[in-house]
Structure 1
């Protein structure tokens, strides 16, 4: 999911402290304010941490995100009235990406939903979690209970050696039907025991790499992080690298590439609206979404590769010839590619790969080429895939 750090967002209002605050500081984490919390933007450097994650395994603290648990009679119907998700096909232990939409079909948030034995576990973005909680409590019926799991930490272990590192901790399945943690497939999850502590691990993440997101009691988060970082493949990684990783993976960041005015079809997130719901509707903004599916959209989210090594940042204007056609919604240097990349919303007619555009950076127009996303191929672990 898309709550990653954008280097230009750092502010200094009153901030909250997450469970691993001292853990990050002891390891040299450079702390910044993000989504109302002190969080590590980097340890030894964004580029080095980015490349380590691509080659080995990086441990990210994403405890600022909102972890919610929903239960009650009529749960599936109540949630389907708010999200364009098909819960009839979501089995226990399976996870799915979805969207919280307003009545006009604009994106209020993007999120992950997992079926637990007795309810639904939902992870929402940190910057929007209080609004999300308020929205859900307002529109869910009284029969549905919504619990904010404030005493839980959330860690993301990402990279090609993540499964090896996590399996080395000796996690044991907490239920008979649960497979070993390194046998989970992409978007599968389960409860596990670690030194008698129950944790929930899902094979997912927001870097484009194989990996896991792990929810566990906050009081055990430091010991768990220590155990992971004792493995030679694992290093703590800051939110700066998480942002560059998600950009290379072509994944949108809420509040930048996504907002209340952008619909999921123009944003390239049609997969977040399950097939049955595309036909049946019955969720906020369904009429606009169905029209966009049938007729196309006026704009599209695109990827751009810039020539040269100068990066362009969010807000830079995009031109086609002398005509301004949009602005960058994300932008930066791609360490894996050795060149700058960006995302933008532009007229659909200009979204064809290979189209030549220009980006204005302080009065200088940098040439850029529309490029298919992801910029770096995803390497999720899918069972049965070659």
Structure 2
């Protein structure tokens, strides 16, 4: 995305469109294709989840020897009954996907049933398998960001950010809307919302339409606190202790954003800031001169490893941070482009600095090298948590799974120095 669009929380009585800005994704063919693919992937959630989860398992089950299938059909196994229950769970999850789709179509003034002859409006049937997988993972992510059960994962990542910000901007006092905090890779918007509730002027940035559409729904269109049921683990059949574990439900959102806004309006003394979400390539938007020295703080949570070239991220953060502003980072280094063999094309011209995520080339650094890099590019490291002191946390982790994938995310704070960033060739 070359320009930006915004959506933020609305008053529940506000019927205006939740997207605004100078960016029209429908006016650019490439952007229109990406948006349409995201919308179509949520439309396909129900069908693809049934087909890939229960339908194929029924076919495989019927291929078993008849005597074996008979044993597993009866109690206490009742495999076919369980597949029926999984189908019900899929339909509940699909209701959320459909709600995201409905609000997305309304936001972009798109028809639910477009004419197949109108390429500008026909968004049906354009999603790839990769797009559909993103829709599936986005639905599961509500467990982490917007359920009470996901609080442990959030606390490990978001609480350090809030603690660092309160320490920097006078703990115990309302920081007011004067303190601007940028959250790149804001995902489903929970950290941005929590910062707003703490009194900061929070701006999230996200490039994924899947995340943007889902965050718009949860922030602006959910029916109330814990009014939507989610089965986060229903589509997974391995490493289960019991079927109850597979069919566990959680209620979302654990906090209703609209109700929080109304509560703050009724209690003027309650700290409550502002929030918005920009839809743009992080490097392209925040390297722009219009964003220079715009933010008091930048909080990157599970984000910097999404960079093909982390130097571009550091340069963008330095550009948009005010002098003496702080950069708070929490996250691992699971480099997203490590196995992307398509990025080995010829290098971009040196004067082409606004290619963002589409720039060719990629590199993976160690944690020690990341720290050395940021200090070389105009930051002073103020604190860094040793690896032995870091908490082990999952990411959308089933707490009862027989297989646990855990991170020990880094947590450090750096301050933008007044001196110019040094050349890498110095």
Shorter-chain TM-score category? under 0.3
Rg larger in structure: 2
Q: Could you say which structure has the higher strand fraction?
A: 1
TM-score of the superposed pair, with normalisation by structure 1: 0.27
Structure 2-normalised TM-score?
A: 0.25
From the two aligned structures, give the one with the greater helix fraction: 2
